[in-house]
Amino acid sequence: MLSYWFYPNPGNADYANPKVLLLFAACLLLFLGSFIVSSWRKNHGNSVTRKLARSWSSAMRWFAIIGIILVVSRVEDIQFVAIRFLWVLWALAAFLFVLLQMWLWKKRHYTVVPTVRTEDPREKYLPRKK
């Protein structure tokens, strides 16, 4: 069981493999999506949302670059970088990052609701505390 996850040279992959192409496409979408998120963040009006989304584009870019390195190392049979367990660590790190961002969003995202003060003309005639 452990030899499946930690075998240094899994092999059986080439650039025409649909799984490899799918992983390349996912990493490319992450990389291009990072620039879209970056431009969205710069043009967003809410300062709290901008502050919370500060790390999203760089994290997406890093996850994409690491994913591409893992795919290329698997196809090119680079030992000890093509280990399947590194994909598990990559996916776990991405999952934990998303969970952390969801938790921070829930914890810190707020909107300032303006208080509406009604002026009652009878208020100045009501008794006050002494």
User: pLDDT tens digits, residue range 53-67?
Assistant: 889 999 999 999 999
Residue 129 lies in a domain: no
pTM for the model: 0.76
For the chain, the average pLDDT equals 88
Residue 59 lies in a domain: yes
Residue 84: name the closest of 29, 2, 19 by CA: 2
User: Residue 76: what are its φ and ψ, rounded to 5°?
Assistant: -85, 5
Residue 127 lies in a domain: no
Q: Which domain holds residue 102?
A: 2-109
pLDDT reading at 130 higher than 80? no
pLDDT reading at 11 higher than 80? no
Residue 56 lies in a domain: yes
Angle at 121 between CA 115 and CA 125, to 5 degrees: 115
Residue 124 lies in a domain: no
Report the alpha-carbon distance of residue 78 to residue 3 in Å, rounded. 17
Residue 83 lies in a domain: yes
pLDDT, residue 124, reads 81
- The residue that leads in pLDDT, 82 or 32, is 32
CA 44 to chain centre: 18
pLDDT, residue 113, reads 75
Residue 54 lies in a domain: yes
- Tally of domains in the chain: 1
